Amino acid sequence: MSNQTVSPGALLAGRYRIAELLAEIDGARVWRAVDEVLSRAVVVDVLPVGDPRTNQLFDAARRAAAAADPRFLRVLDCDMHEGVTYCVREWAGGRPLERMLTAGPLTGQQAGWLAREVSEALENLHRTGHSHGSISPSTVVVTDAGAIKVVGLATEAALRSTGPGSPEEDVRALGELLYASLTGRWPGPAPAWGLQPAPVEHGRLLSPRQVRAGVPRSLDDISDRLLGDPPRHHSVPITSAAGLSAALSGVIGSSHEPPSQMDETVAVARQNGSVDDATQVAPAIQAPPALDPTPQIPEYQQSAYAENNGRTPAQPAYATAAETQPVRRQTPPPQNGGRRKPPPDEPKQRGSWGGRILILLAILALLSVVAMAQFLVKGAINKDQGNDSKTNAPPPATSAPPAASGAPAKIVGAKDFDPPPDGSGSEHPEDVPNTYDGKLSTTWTTQSYKRKPELGGTKDGVGIIYDLGALTDVSKVTVSLVGDDTSLSLMIPKADPSVSAPAADGWKAVATLKDQGAQAVLTPAAPVKTRYVLVWLTKLPKADGGFRGEIAEVAVQK
């Protein structure tokens, strides 16, 4: 089998039914296929016999398979069959940022949220010493479910023969992505990803606020600290994904829920003041939605392997005998600066000032009558109550729930939690410190259970209690897991949040997730104040002929 004989309808390696040619780059072909063993859609990169990139692709696939963050699409298989090298990756429906930007720039809240999600994924990746190597608007996807997925971890760079890259290059590329999302222009000397180049003055890139009215000052400053050489106003450059995540969390918060339309973004900004002037977004620019409401075949696999200029995605070729040659994408029409011209016959709204004044006077008169009535009723009540009014003070106002700060909370201690009568009282206590030592390579495991993933049906759960040292506002807890299909809950003491409860019924769940993979983010509906948090496992993944839970790292965020 050669690269030329891999065509729609062919069965690759006895498992992957080739369906549709998505893209072609330097002799490598990217196909949509169906894994007939697991009955799911996948993406298959295919290299011809003797391609010099074979060893690079194998090495990249091994590095990508070790990534634990769920925002990276996983590599599922990589092998050779009849001389052809193939690499199988996850498929997820959604829209690439490249396509979203053809409709215009994003709002400040949308752009900041998207960049923060990618930076958090890169932060976890860079801790392992690896990098993505090819971050761009075509490799960042908003799925149909509203999540961020990053395509082509390591493998994209291998196919393009650009080298593995570095964490610093990833952060620089993410700065370009943030700039493009805020302005709809590409921060480079030539058009790229369907965007015109951003303007330059005296050899220096203009800031996003100089290019597009209404860009929040805080995001403008972050963009300049990423791309400015040097940054303006003697600001400190941002050179790491961790620094970028912290800066963006301080501006747009730490929620993983995607923002939607412009009015919702403005309402959030007015309420918490996190985006300083988001209300000044130019009204003539129509912001794209965070998700594509129309179900369609995902396009990010097409654009992820296309060149910056003259990209060549393919048209569908499912179940056809002949191969379909990629079709050159047309250049998007000019946006006219993103402004909509009203039709010449659109009527202008007119109003009567006299009518408005009469309505206003009527409202004022009604308010006066209501105020007078309240005054008379209140006086009569006070007269009847006499001195009793001194003792019947109004109840104190209920304080608002604490706001999330996004800062990490320090874990000062932890212990395993397997309470009797169902539990044995001990679940590998010597390994508990491994879950907050900052290393994904060290883990804590539960005992092995037989018959059922729900701890063999012998108990409700097992977990670890973390001590934060003092009452702390907790907005989310991130748990790095090993294995698939783990169900878990975040729990706090029912009675006194400053005292750890000794029995399982002394805890209450504030967040629950089911069937999680590499990473679970437990987020209460509102931040909770507690000293102790319990990560409680209720369903365990398969392991060594039974079921066993495994936690690599736990991080608590204020």
Assigned token pair, 281: 């977004």
Residue matched to tokens 């319990």: 534
Q: What is the pLDDT of residues 281-301, one digit of tens each?
A: 333 334 444 433 333 444 444
Helix (H) or strand (E) holding 30: strand 28-35
Helix (H) or strand (E) holding 142: strand 140-143
SS3 273: coil
Query: How many CA atoms lie less than 13 Å away from 380 in the CB half-sphere?
Result: 6
* Cβ neighbourhood burial of 537 (10 Å; 0-12, 13-18, 19+): buried
What pLDDT does residue 309 have?
Answer: 39
Contacts (Cβ under 8 Å, ≥6 apart) of 133 = 154, 156, 157, 162, 163, 164, 165, 169, 170
* Cβ neighbourhood burial of 43 (10 Å; 0-12, 13-18, 19+): buried
Contacts (Cβ under 8 Å, ≥6 apart) of 371 = none
Assigned token pair, 222: 């972050």
Contacts (Cβ under 8 Å, ≥6 apart) of 330 = none
What is the phi/psi pair of residue 31, to 5°?
-120, 150
What pLDDT does residue 295 have?
Answer: 37
Assigned token pair, 395: 């109840």
What pLDDT does residue 432 have?
Answer: 93
Assess contact for 36 and 44: CB atoms under 8 A: no
What pLDDT does residue 349 have?
Answer: 44
Query: DSSP class of residue 192?
Result: B
Distance CA(411)–CA(555), nearest Å, equals 8
Amino acid at 115: A
SS3 180: helix
pLDDT averaged per 10 residues in sequence order, the chain, 558 residues:
74 93 85 93 91 91 89 92 91 88 93 96 93 93 88 89 90 97 95 94 92 94 93 90 94 81 37 33 37 41 42 34 34 39 41 66 78 67 50 47 76 91 82 91 89 88 94 94 92 93 92 90 93 95 87 94
What pLDDT does residue 321 have?
Answer: 30
Query: CA gyration radius for the chain?
Result: 28
Distance CA(15)–CA(85), nearest Å, equals 14
